[in-house]
Chain A
Amino acid sequence: DTEVTQTPKHLVMGMTNKKSLKCEQHMGHRAMYWYKQKAKKPPELMFVYSYEKLSINESVPSRFSPECPNSSLLNLHLHALQPEDSALYLCASSSGLAALGDTQYFGPGTRLTVL
């Protein structure tokens, strides 16, 4: 099973709200990723966790705060977002055994709209 699940599927929030996106995988993967994807563009990497430690932060604004409670879960906490943050947020995971560059499996994404 190569399934990565994400909740919620859709989220609408105001600029003063605080919300969280959740991601879960049960493939025993030890690397997990957050991506942001705008329409008709490729996914852009935001964060990488390897063995529950933050390995890569692609200079993402502090209004996005990742958290990895355990090896199966990944959260993205959102606060004081801007309308330009509206996008599809994708979670991915990979084995992380040989290298972080191994096969990444993506979830279905959360469609975020910031009003």
Chain B
Amino acid sequence: QQQVKQSPQSLIVQKGGISIINCAYENTAFDYFPWYQQFPGKGPALLIAIRPDVSEKKEGRFTISFNKSAKQFSLHIMDSQPGDSATYFCASTGAGGTSYGKLTFGQGTILTVHP
């Protein structure tokens, strides 16, 4: 079974700090790696996504770092704010085979940013 392993399960940071969440995947056919942010009682919202032809993508305070050879990618949240407190899911998907049309999610990280 193709998996995406996400760590840590929970993370507490102080306001202004850097939050780092890591994911590792197994399926080399994966070619799209989105991160979703989910607040309690809401649906997941796309935060940022990357394809394996680049090693880093930055959007505002959010950066994805991608290491294709290690099959790992991570989310960095700079200057973390209390409003960033949410559950974050990494995901992977790709065309072809059993992964076609299916997002494989990590188990999620509950981020708490203290004021």
Contacts and interface: CB of A to CB of B under 8 A. Distances in A.
Interface string B99-115: 11111011110100000
B12 interface: no
B95 interface: yes
A26 to B, nearest CB: 17
B102 A101 contact: yes
Interface of A: 4, 6, 31, 40-43, 45, 48, 50, 55-56, 88, 90, 92, 98-109, 111
Given A41-B108, A42-B106, A55 B43 contact: no
Given A101-B93, A107-B43, A31 B106 contact: no
B101 A56 contact: yes
B81 to A, nearest CB: 23
A90 B43 contact: yes
Contacts of A6: 43
Contacts of B32: 101-103
Contacts, number: 68
A103 B49 contact: yes
Interface in B22-63: 31-32, 34, 36, 41-46, 49
Contacts of A109: 41-43
B10 to A, nearest CB: 10
B73 interface: no
Nearest to B34: A103
A4 to B, nearest CB: 8
B44 A90 contact: yes
B101 A101 contact: yes
Contacts of B46: 103-105
B34 A43 contact: no
A92 B105 CA distance: 14
Contacts of B95: 98-101
